[in-house]
Amino acid sequence: MTQRHPEFDVIIAGAGPAGSFTAFALARAGARVLVLDRARFPRSKPCAEYLSPQASRLLSEMGALDAVEAAGAAHLAGMVVHAPNGAVIRGNFVAEHGYSAFRDRGLALRRVLLDAILLDRARAAGAEVREGIRVTDVLRDAGGRAQGLRVVRADGRFEDFHSTFVVGADGLRSVVARRLELSRTRRMWGRRIALVAHYENVGDITQWGEMHVAEDVGYVGFASVDGGFTNVSLVVPEQLARGASGDRGAFLHNWLLQRPQLAPRFKGARRASAVVATGPFASHAPCAWAPGAALVGDAADFFDPFTGEGIYSALRGGELLAPRLMEALGAARARDEDAALRTYDRDRRLEYRGKWIVERLINAAIRSAPAMNYFARTLEARQDMADLLIGVTGDFVPAREVLRPGYLLNLFRQPDFARRPVPNE
């Protein structure tokens, strides 16, 4: 290891799922870990609050799965996607494609409960957690290597914390990523904003999460969460979201009531929380590490929330990063430390590469009503194809299954010709 003797081995900015899992895994392995977050927990967070079936494996690894269940997490059997033309794609997590997840159901739990549970597991593993502290900068040595974080305490005073490594798990607008000049905002047309709230008494809520794609004006997702609440997440183009600046609650409710298929279900519903905005999305770090530092979770990459995989990706990212950081902590030279972080970045790309392609293909489809309508007709007629796609977004079917030439060819066929088995190439 390089000749540094800081108080902490790793300081993590951000105590959400990515930061908590990374802290848990590092502390369990014997590292001295400090987690910093500007919030005080429990705290709410704008999010679809969906945990894919495979996320339960990571919750179990943390010893958090029983607590999540005890908190009343709703169970989800799959996803239903409604196209603008009325076609309905229903994908089930339990299907005949031969793949199975850690559990056969997804979970949905409000972040105000989930994040506190995960952070408690990091504490129990030995991580030190300090809340109400805002990270403002990354400390670096004379060679530019990260060696800690500068923060502002609740009383307004600045304080420096020194460490061998720094992790940016501080979300979509990561301070760590920006200070290290790792983050870029993708230049893309039609950037989107999400408006998120909880409702009570929404009609016809089932064990399937729902996505409703509107004609050229975004989409809305909703699903049951704990406590009888329904999470409602509306994603609209940035320019349209400007109309919500005066009264987000009215904007969201009016948008729902203006959709004929949704209005009857929300007519008697009551909004049970403030509407919180997040975005714009499409933040990306071409490289998720720098000397002495790494990014994980949304700080490293966030494209679009349609597939709802953010929490799983955050937890899995922490699982990928922690062993590489332990390897770096045991390195004798700075170049060996860098090699370990470079390997993490490679691991991350290999893990997510197929999913990134699928996300972009889905995003392209939902931005074009004719394309969405066309593909939805095929998937509505082909239950096997729908189940495969939902299994990919559920993180237990490999992305390659829907990127095979046979699958893609069948996707472009009209329903009358789309009933042949997908070739297993």
Distances (CA, A) of 206 to 24, 169, 202, 290: 34, 33, 10, 45
List helix spans (H) across 42-160: 55-62, 65-70, 111-125
Domain membership of residue 121 (yes or no) is yes
Q: Is 162 part of any domain? A: yes
Side chain identity at 219, as an amino acid letter?
Answer: Y
Residue 85 belongs to some domain of the structure: no
Alpha helices in 231-382 (DSSP H): 238-241, 248-257, 263-266, 310-329, 334-366, 369-381
pLDDT for res 173? 87
Name, in order, each residue with C-beta under 8 angstroms of 38's C-beta and a sequence gap of 6 or more.
132, 133, 134, 135
Instruction: Tell me how many degrees the CA angle 403-87-268 measures, rounded to the nearest 5.
Output: 125
φ, ψ of residue 40 in degrees (nearest 5)? -115, 130
Tell me whether residue 243 is in a domain. Answer: no
265 token code pair: 């279900």
Q: Count how many domains the chain has.
A: 1
Give the pTM. 0.92
Residue 308 has a pLDDT of: 67
**CA 146 to each of CA 34, 59, 121, 180: distance values in angstroms, whole numbers, following the listed order:** 15, 30, 27, 9
Structural domain includes residue 198? no
| Domain membership flag for residue 124 | yes
Instruction: Give the range of the structural domain holding residue 290, as residue numbers without chain letter.
Output: 8-45+111-185+282-358
CATH of the domain at 23: 3.50.50.60
Q: Which residues contact 24 (CB under 8 A, 6 or more apart)?
A: 62, 118, 121, 122, 125, 127, 318
Query: Mean pLDDT, consecutive 10-residue segments, the chain of 425 residues?
Result: 72 98 98 97 93 97 98 97 95 96 96 98 98 96 96 92 97 93 64 91 95 87 95 88 79 92 94 89 81 95 72 96 98 95 96 92 88 94 96 95 96 66 47
Residue 61, domain member (yes or no) = no
Q: Distance between CA atoms of 233 and 194, rounded to whole angstroms?
A: 6
Q: Is 398 within a domain?
A: no
